[in-house]
Structure 1
Amino acid sequence: MLLTECPRDAMQGLTRFIPTTDKIRYLNALLKVGFDTLDFGSFVSPKAVPQMQDTAEVLAGLDLTGTQTKLLAIVANRRGAEQAIGYEAIRYVGFPLSVSETFQQRNTNKSIQEALADVAAMQRLCQQADKGLVVYLSMGFGNPYGDSYSPALVVDFTTRLVDLGIRHIIPSDTVGTATPTAIEALFDHLSDAFPFHAFGAHLHALPGEAPAKVRAAVRAGVKRIDGAIGGLGGCPMAADSLTGNLPTEEIIATLGTLGIPTGLDMAAFSRAVELSREVL
């Protein structure tokens, strides 16, 4: 199982600005753990997400020697993608594409059709720069707005992305409403439609729900799971303070009970957990 740690997601909704030097200390500790990918920052409007206004400065302070962890930066439009691909150290550019029209407007101030045009343009940019575009299918397990939803709808969105040559597609439970049954159902649909495609899962959860969601994702054949130490974070546009990311500690523990290795340096992980309590 490949693990993506998401300190950007954990930090972005905090009202207290975390000093750049503290962010650098924390991210450098995470780079020693052995995560496959580190969702470390974003290139978005500082008015929308003021916590991430120093992403370029943070990147300059990261020690990438001796780590295999790949850096991922989130963007909200083509301009952000153009910024992100200008940094050699960034391997992945992430973009939230919602299957809910309401949430796409709330999150990026664009319609789904406009966002899809952005995705096509960003994929061309990433291909030219030898970067990977990661598309998060927001509201991928349903939405609270009454917009139409079904696993077949997610399959349709995935088809469009695969047709563009996008390999990294991650359904996202943006508001934490997905049950284990719904998680298995969606990924079963996706694996039936795309049997040679490896999918990731970005799930949110209320306290205590994470282990069951992780087990459901494993049963459904998910190959990558996103988490954040302490379960911090969640989407600031979704407005539910209790719904956070899957706690990385619980992901690791659950995978351990299933006999699934992560390849992490657990001593380094423990040090990162301690530092997270100080910094965040």
Structure 2
Amino acid sequence: MTLPNAAENEHRTVKIREVGPRDGFQNEPETIPTAEKIRLIDALGRGGLKRIEVASFVRPDVIPQLSDGVEVLKGIELPEDVDRLVLVPNSRGLDNALGYRDLFEEVALFVSASETHNQRNINRPVAETMADVTKMGRRIVAEDLGFCAVIATSFGCPFEGKVPLDRVLDLAEQFAEAGATELGFGDTTGMCNPAYASRFFAAALERLPGIEITAHFHNTRGQGLANAYAAFEAGCRSFESSFGELGGCPVPAGSTGNIATEDLVSMFHEMGVASGVDLPGVIEAAKTAQSVLGRKLTSHSIVAGPVTWASPVG
């Protein structure tokens, strides 16, 4: 792995999608009040994040923390250039979402690359999920909505162990055939390492030309930012992260959160890679989340703040 110098990175940019309002909030033990969710999402929008995953159309008895998704979508006041994304698990969820078509711009569909994880997460075989994806994809495209796909456990499964790369990319190709223009690969329980991230994203970019490739890393074992850097070096320019390092995976217990948006932005900015994100603004939103949740969050930038350099002497 070779470290690019600042000059090489000067004109590079990355896209960062904020997933905390969905992936993060759903993993909190108690439901965050709707008004507080709206306050936090609006703060993220003011912080320069152009794509925010706001809600999920899942059964409220399964994920009660997100049962107020429609109210949140109606209540947020984001800049006009910010895209709102919703996650749907199946055709019934898409039916419900399309009843509020004017409240969002993008839809994300998902599957686990691991059969066992898919069964435990959404109680369906992978083949059944992908058959539904084909039908849902046509409907999403017909509605002129952005169609994103997410493949969980792309880098390893806590139940099955190693997940073959070809299996993951075969699923990605099926999503692309269904109309997806973006493929997100999730390290759902933090099993990836930088060497594999580099090989994985090089292969994905080669096999999926014309598709936006997005990296979604968790920091369960402390390798999240290293994996993001490795993916970047391999050519990936789109990332998902969660302010405050909120999130995790309910299957299995013990999986910690996504890489922190503010830590990811800080790393890229120090490398000379532009993200369009206001780092102090996102740090402030994460600090507000700490107050709302009544506990300390685990991102480093909340504590350390942005990197500042003293003026040179002389």
Partner secondary structure for residue 191 of structure 1:
helix
Report the CA distance between 1:276 and its aligned residue.
1.4
Q: Indicate conservation of the 8 Å contact 1:85/1:131, yes or no.
A: no
The letter of the residue matching 1:70 is D
What residue in structure 2 maps to residue 240 of structure 1? 254
Q: Indicate conservation of the 8 Å contact 1:70/1:91, yes or no.
A: yes
Q: Indicate conservation of the 8 Å contact 2:215/2:228, yes or no.
A: no
Partner secondary structure for residue 44 of structure 1:
coil
What residue in structure 2 maps to residue 279 of structure 1? 292
C-alpha distance in 2 between matches for 1:41 and 1:163 = 25
Q: What pairs with 1:79-118 in structure 2 (closer than 5 Å)?
A: 79-87=92-100, 88-118=102-132
Partner secondary structure for residue 114 of structure 1:
helix
Partner secondary structure for residue 27 of structure 2:
coil
Unaligned stretches of 5+ residues in structure 1: none
Matched, 1:136 2:150: yes
The letter of the residue matching 2:258 is N
Report the CA distance between 1:257 and its aligned residue.
2.5
What residue in structure 1 maps to residue 82 of structure 2? 69
What residue in structure 2 maps to residue 189 of structure 1? 203
Q: What pairs with 1:1-280 in structure 2 (closer than 5 Å)?
A: 1-7=14-20, 8-64=22-78, 66-87=79-100, 88-146=102-160, 149-206=163-220, 208-241=222-255, 243-280=256-293
What residue in structure 1 maps to residue 8 of structure 2? none
The farther-off stretch of 14-23 and 200-209 is: 200-209
C-alpha distance in 2 between matches for 1:57 and 1:245 = 25
Partner secondary structure for residue 31 of structure 1:
helix
The letter of the residue matching 1:152 is D
The alignment's TM-score, normalised by the length of structure 2, stands at 0.84
1:100-136 CA distance string (max 9 Å, x none): 1111111111111110011111111111211122111
Q: Indicate conservation of the 8 Å contact 1:10/1:228, yes or no.
A: yes
Q: Indicate conservation of the 8 Å contact 2:42/2:77, yes or no.
A: yes
Unaligned stretches of 5+ residues in structure 2: 1-13, 294-314
C-alpha distance in 2 between matches for 1:165 and 1:127 = 7
Report the CA distance between 1:148 and its aligned residue.
6.4
Aligned length: 278
Report the CA distance between 1:213 and its aligned residue.
1.5
Report the CA distance between 1:207 and its aligned residue.
6.1
Partner secondary structure for residue 40 of structure 1:
strand
Report the CA distance between 1:206 and its aligned residue.
2.6
CA RMSD of aligned residues (A): 1.6
1:136-162 CA distance string (max 9 Å, x none): 111101212226621121221122122
Q: State the identity as a percent.
A: 32
Structure with the greater alpha carbon radius of gyration = 2
